[in-house]
Amino acid sequence: MPNKHFCQGPNCHEKTTQDRFLKSRGVIRGRYAYLPLDHQSEYYGRGKFFCSTACEGAWLDEHMENIEQGRPIEFIRHRRESGGYEKVSNTNSWGRTYNQIERVDNRSE
């Protein structure tokens, strides 16, 4: 277990990027925070809780009213996942092959 918190961003586990995709289980996972817990920096202390400033901003957008009202906000202690994805190879109009992560619909109708 690394010496880092999980990213607290509300949508971090839903962004389809290569580093978040776990091929063996077909899930998108949230990232670890940017900085380790024992990092001593006055410059970017919030890096211990978020993987990027985009996740930090999304968290503030979602929880600002709770902060203003003094209500508690739950701290995420587990790695969140979004299931139902797979890596698909596609070919563009120039004949080049590229990989893309797409949502899979497994419902049978």
62, two tokens: 């979602």
For the entire predicted model, the pTM comes to 0.63
Alpha helices in 29-89 (DSSP H): 53-69
Query: Distances from the Cα of 43 to the Cαs of 48, 49, 58, 70, in angstroms?
Result: 12, 14, 20, 26
pLDDT, averaged per 10 consecutive residues of the chain (109 residues), comes to 80 74 73 80 77 88 92 80 70 77 61
What is the rounded CA–CA span in Å between residue 40 and residue 91?
Answer: 47
Check residue 27 and give its pLDDT: 74
Instruction: Dump strand ranges (E) for the chain.
Output: 21-22, 27-29, 81-83, 85-91, 97-103
The confidence score (pLDDT) of residue 1 equals 54
